[in-house]
Amino acid sequence: MSNMVECCIKVVVRYLSKRGAAMSAKPIAVIILGMHRSGTSLLAQTVRSLGVHMGHEHQMVPPREDNPEGFWEHAEIVAVHDELLERLSSSWDATKPLPEQWWLTEGGMASRARLVDIVSRDFSGHPVWGFKDPRTCLLLPLWQSVFEELNMEPRYILSLRNPLNVAASLYKRDHFLHDKSFAIWNLYVLSSLYYTSHKRRIVIDYDRLLEQPVETGQRISDFLNIPYGAAERARVGGLPKPGLRHSSFSMQDVWEDRLVPAMVRQTYQIGLSGERDSDALCTDELRENVQNAYDQMVQIDRLLNHEKSYRIRIYWAGADGRFTEDKSTYITVSAKGQKSLQTVEIRESLGSVLRIDFFTEPAYFKLSKLSLVYEGEEANLLRGYAKEYVQFLAFTGVGEEADCVSGISTGNTSQLLIRDLPPHGETATLRLELSCSFEIGEDVVQALQLQHSAEVALSAALHDAGLRIERLLTANAEKEKALKLAAKQIGEQIDTLELLCEDSRRREAKLAAISRDLQEQRAEASRLNAEIERREQQAKEERVLLIRQKDLEIENYRQEVASYSGSLSWKITLPLRMGREIERSAKRRFKGWAKGLLQRYAIRRNQHSLHAGLTGRLPYKQYALIFSHTNYLESMGGTEKYIYEQASYLSQNNVGIIQIYPGQSYSLLNTKEDTFYGVVVSDQFRGFYSVQEITEWLSRIHRHLAEIYTHHLLNWQISDYTALLRNVEEAGVLPHTFFMHDFFALCSSYHMMYQPKIRQSIKEAKERRTCIADIITTAGTDAAICQNCTHGIALAEWREALRPVLHQSDRIVVPSDFVKETVAAVYPDMTDKIRVRGHLIFDRQTIIYKSPPENRKIRIAFLGYKMENKGWSVWERLYKDEALGRLYEFHHIGSQEKYADQVSVHRYSFLLEGRMGAPNLLIAQDIDLVLLWSIVPESYSYTLQESIAAGVPVLTSPQSGNIAVTIDAHPELGKVLSGEDELKAFLFDPEHVRNYVSGDRARYVLEYNHLPSGKREARS
């Protein structure tokens, strides 16, 4: 019931206020203020759609390419504004305030009169009218005097837009640097808030006007007390167009971007507070904040933009008729051609003569006003009084400038004397308006020539006399010239001989240098021939050694096979082995046939689909282009998890993703044709396509692309990748981030595992070790371990193919310092581009007490996929050990199948349960230890982060790479055990283990570690 009464009261109040406005005798002037590129044109359209008269269309500034919807500015008002700013030595892109009391200058008063005429002629017959021009923010004092003279009520609507978006728009249109754009924005917005402090006003946010046009129209109609019916709602709602927003910086970006000056943030905060609460605009606190900010801006401008000032001294004769220093004063002026108003109070009688002394340097002066104020009267001393000039070349103006004194000072004592001053008593006031400049323009020179024709004629006569004298001197100097010519010819001959001698010396020196170079080249050729012979001999010896080693290897294998084949078990299992080999061969053929068939079916389906194919609709306006090795919707490895998290984050920020991945397993260095790649657009698989088809599609949608992320090039052909990347960059450069989730960009062994070229036994073939320490020590391809490794055969070609891609990328992101150190050793010239950024961050720490597992077995878990690289063999030996089974419960977190009675299996889905799915399972099952026994160096480990988040200690080996590095740096997170023997020794001490797993443990919430936009990092 109370809500209904409140609504009725609001309706009655609105009706009465609108009725009162309609009955008001004063016309209402609606003034739209705001910085350029801040949505003032759309705001003017909105106000016009509500019925406010903005002028006739033929009076408006016509649309342009940068504003096709129209400016909605009265062309004549804009012209007056531009002319006035020019007369004040300013312009629309000014970064500092106008001079003090500029509206009282001659130019200000003339512009005011023109504006009064325009308003009276075009708007006086309308009860509610308005106009828009961003320059009005700087010229408000002049307009407020116009409204007072015409008895009109001004109401101000301020358009506020994010300064980062304004700066981006000005950079695109005018190529302004951000510093200048911020300075212009601050001057316009702060001036509009300052000059409307005690006026009726509202602030409209540009983004809100785009997103909620109908609601914003309601707010404006309430402010103006004008009707807002269904027709007005329909018109206002249809005004915003999708293409009006070209930049999308948020308010948070303003607070976080260090390039935004503190003064701009303060002004934006004041504007936002007024936009959110219109009543706040009327508070003393906001007015005081605006006043302080404006005063600070003026003070900073005075500090940074001060100009050299010059003195003009004024003498008066007094009662004794003499000029002395004690009867004088001075005024200070600038020499930039700007007009200044000066007032001089004199506490004694001036006498009958006034003298003004100008600069000692030659300069152009214009004295527009010189008046004497006494006893309530004002006498114009430039009209009707005798004037006398000393060392001052003066000329008189015409028309409006007839009473001005203009001229050029020509000596050290340039003076203007005014005689026969009127009687004025013991006190008087002088008022002067003048400008001066050391730059003398062509118009001043022409005016002097017209008004001083006698001097010009005398100058011409002197010029003619000078020409005659010059001809006489020329005639008398003929003989002297002949002598000088002869002497010059002799001198030239001597110079020629000296040049020939110098050229001969240079040629001899050059010949000697060529001879030395030839000798050095011959010596180098001899050395190279010797080196070639040495290398040929070395290669011959290596081939012989290689043949011997191969023979030895074959012999060893032959002996081993012979020993196996002689055994009974070998003979019995022969049919089984042959059957398994036949089965594997058939499976491989069937799998290849099925995959090719499915791919051909998908390609054929894509060509006949208009909705799911490349011609389908793009639901987002902006997209990030992602290159990777698998469909992130179908696989959940570490890289795919990160892409899934990245896609989710970008989607929340209205940015979609386009993922491209290989349709089959291609080789990086091959150049196979008829390759096909899968395309995923915003969580929808669009099909497999050729490189040419994807290239043409990306060209069509390039305007939607915002950034490029390369996550992995496994299974890619580098030629296909560079072709797609080159096509995108040719259409327009985009920020490119290259991720190294492992070591694929360094070596085809992306786990950096050493594989010798020659194996002497089956036992040695099973031994695995990493080569990272050797690579870091010797920095790159010179490492001896690479030359003896099968992956080193094509290593130089591998890195040569990837180096241009890394060089062209804007930044290289690695997940850990462990990876950064290895990458920097191989690519030292890329070190400045490398950014270390983990995939996840720990948030919201909680400390829990873990009690010792007294009345139950100790629980140890294997976390992750069933893979040999993750230490699966070690895990199998542990859970099959009956002695350990009596002490421990074995759990597998993340397995999709029950594979052993001794192991409890716990399934979870990263897609459904998110990044906390595994930590929550570890906590729910009260796991005491996690085994992460990777036998290859991990660059980063999701399973490690999940274990830390659950507060469960980790057991790992030195071979696990970043896992071991992290545990070494933080021993409270787990143990690094030297091998399987030390692992079992630790596990077979149950009392020690129970004490170790108990006590205070930290738990965390895992959050996605978002990578900032490449645009922002480039700008920074």
pLDDT tens-digit profile of 873-892?
999 999 999 999 999 999 99
Residue 248: the pLDDT is 79
Tell me the pLDDT of the chain averaged across its residues.
84
User: Taking residues 299-318, what's their average pLDDT?
Assistant: 80
Residue 23 pLDDT greater than 60, yes or no: no
The strand order across the sheet containing 386-390 reads: 328-334, 309-316, 353-357, 415-419, 386-390
Residue 11 pLDDT greater than 60, yes or no: no
Q: How confident is the model at residue 460 (pLDDT cuts 50, 70, 90)?
A: low
Long-range Cβ pairs for the range 637-644 (8 Å, 24+): 637/865, 638/741, 638/839, 638/940, 638/941, 638/942, 639/711, 639/712, 639/739, 639/741, 641/839, 641/910, 641/915, 641/942, 642/711, 642/739, 642/741, 642/839, 643/711, 644/910, 644/911
Higher confidence at residue 213 or residue 682?
A: 213
pLDDT tens-digit profile of 783-826?
777 877 888 788 888 889 889 999 989 999 998 888 888 888 88
Do 20-241+248-304 and 309-440 have matching folds?
A: no
Residue 70 pLDDT greater than 90, yes or no: no
Stretch (H or E) spanning 345: strand 340-346
Q: How confident is the model at residue 1016 (pLDDT cuts 50, 70, 90)?
A: very low
Residue whose C-alpha is closest to residue 687's, from 618, 612, 597, 620: 612
Of 74-78, 167-171, 906-910, 976-980, minimum mean pLDDT range: 906-910
Residue 611: the pLDDT is 42
Of 444-448, 466-470, 888-892, minimum mean pLDDT range: 444-448
Residue whose C-alpha is closest to residue 839's, from 956, 631, 1007, 1012: 1007
pLDDT tens-digit profile of 379-428?
888 888 888 888 888 876 655 566 788 888 887 788 999 998 888 778 88
Q: Does domain 20-241+248-304 match CATH 3.40.50?
A: yes
Residue whose C-alpha is closest to residue 95's, from 204, 176, 203: 176
User: Taking residues 62-83, what's their average pLDDT?
Assistant: 87
Residue 768: the pLDDT is 65
Higher confidence at residue 847 or residue 247?
A: 847
Residue 775 pLDDT greater than 80, yes or no: no
Alpha-carbon gap, residue 660 to 663, rounded angstroms: 9
Cβ(737)–Cβ(711) under 8 Å? no
Cβ(857)–Cβ(888) under 8 Å? yes
Residue 12: the pLDDT is 40
Look up residue 20 and give its two tokens: 């009162």
Residue 766 pLDDT greater than 60, yes or no: no
Q: How confident is the model at residue 947 (pLDDT cuts 50, 70, 90)?
A: very high
Residue 76: the pLDDT is 96
Alpha-carbon gap, residue 316 to 55, rounded angstroms: 54
Higher confidence at residue 241 or residue 987?
A: 987
pLDDT tens-digit profile of 186-212?
999 999 999 999 999 999 999 999 999
Residue 765 pLDDT greater than 60, yes or no: no
User: Taking residues 444-456, what's their average pLDDT?
Assistant: 62
Residue 246: the pLDDT is 63
Residue 13: the pLDDT is 40
Helices (H), 123-261: 140-149, 163-174, 178-195, 206-211, 213-224, 230-237, 251-256
Residue 608: the pLDDT is 46
Residue 583 pLDDT greater than 70, yes or no: no
Residue 444 pLDDT greater than 80, yes or no: no
Of 227-231, 312-316, 348-352, minimum mean pLDDT range: 348-352
Higher confidence at residue 930 or residue 770?
A: 930
Residue 368: the pLDDT is 84
Residue 115: the pLDDT is 97
pLDDT tens-digit profile of 499-516?
888 888 888 899 999 989
User: Taking residues 648-656, what's their average pLDDT?
Assistant: 91
Percent of the chain topping pLDDT 90: 38
Q: How confident is the model at residue 43 (pLDDT cuts 50, 70, 90)?
A: very high
Residue 1018 pLDDT greater than 50, yes or no: no
pLDDT tens-digit profile of 903-944?
999 988 877 788 888 899 999 999 999 999 988 888 888 899
Alpha-carbon gap, residue 526 to 528, rounded angstroms: 5
Residue 188: the pLDDT is 97
Long-range Cβ pairs for the range 73-78 (8 Å, 24+): 73/44, 73/131, 73/132, 73/133, 74/118, 74/122, 74/131, 74/133, 76/118, 77/115, 77/118, 77/131, 77/133, 78/133, 78/135
Residue 911: the pLDDT is 72
Residue 634: the pLDDT is 81
Q: How confident is the model at residue 453 (pLDDT cuts 50, 70, 90)?
A: low
**C-alpha angle 863/869/871, rounded to 5°?**
55
Residue 262: the pLDDT is 92
Q: How confident is the model at residue 441 (pLDDT cuts 50, 70, 90)?
A: low
Residue 470 pLDDT greater than 80, yes or no: no
Residue 449: the pLDDT is 64
Residue 567: the pLDDT is 55
Q: 2.60.40, 3.20.20, 2.60.120, 1.10.3470: which CATH number matches 309-440?
A: 2.60.120
Q: Which of 103-107, 138-142, 355-359, 409-413 has the highest mean pLDDT?
A: 138-142
Residue 3 pLDDT greater than 60, yes or no: no
User: Taking residues 983-1000, what's their average pLDDT?
Assistant: 92
pLDDT tens-digit profile of 727-750?
888 877 889 999 998 888 888 887
Phi and psi angles of residue 396, each rounded to the nearest 5 degrees, phi first: -95, 150
Provide the CB-side half-sphere exposure for 949 (13 A, CA). Answer: 22
* Domain 840-1008 class, CATH top level: alpha beta
Domain boundaries, the chain: 20-241+248-304, 309-440, 609-734, 738-837, 840-1008
